[in-house]
Chains A and B, each alone.
Chain A
Amino acid sequence: GAVVSQHPSRVICKSGTSVKIECRSLDFQATTMFWYRQFPKQSLMLMATSNEGSKATYEQGVEKDKFLINHASLTLSTLTVTSAHPEDSSFYICSAKTSGGANEQFFGPGTRLTVL
């Protein structure tokens, strides 16, 4: 099946620094990628939708200047958490969707961000 990877799997950073998370579709071209955030014992919350070559669409309440998303190619999307604070500590998950076929999304393994 289709594989989506994320890097890093785990990151710890100091408050005020920026962190970049990569999401790659390894064996297919992803026209659309989604970014989610999941706090402990909660469900996934959609943060934004990104289409290759265009600006990301953010969900209500998600600061686009804080969570920078770039989808420069059909296999790579990046999420940069700028000026991270402890409340940004969470599990970040990406998913990728192909342009054709069944309406199925393939999820990455997630990135655990801890801001000290």
Chain B
Amino acid sequence: DGGITQSPKYLFRKEGQNVTLSCEQNLNHDAMYWYRQDPGQGLRLIYYSQIVNDFQKGDIAEGYSVSREKKESFPLTVTSAQKNPTAFYLCASKRGEGRRLLFNTGELFFGEGSRLTVL
């Protein structure tokens, strides 16, 4: 079955450490996204990528970094510069056609999420 796999499901980090969250998809989707979810708030966009080797900052990119070396993979690193990293992180993908498509208006497919807690 096609889908999105996030790992680990739970992660604990000490102050000052960088951690990397994995996101892999086998849906053959071009576009991938990272969202952060905090209690009582909507999903906020961290980074997104429309095509391999290209990505853009979302609304809350400070303290995070990403890479998109393969179509299937879009890992997110939470760096020590992120002041309040405790949250639920969601990876998503969407069908797309890279830069040739002006608007990518399909629905998002989400992974099961990764919960990061800073000790």
A pairs with B: no
Chain B residues within 8 Å of A, Cβ to Cβ: none
Chain A residues within 8 Å of B, Cβ to Cβ: none
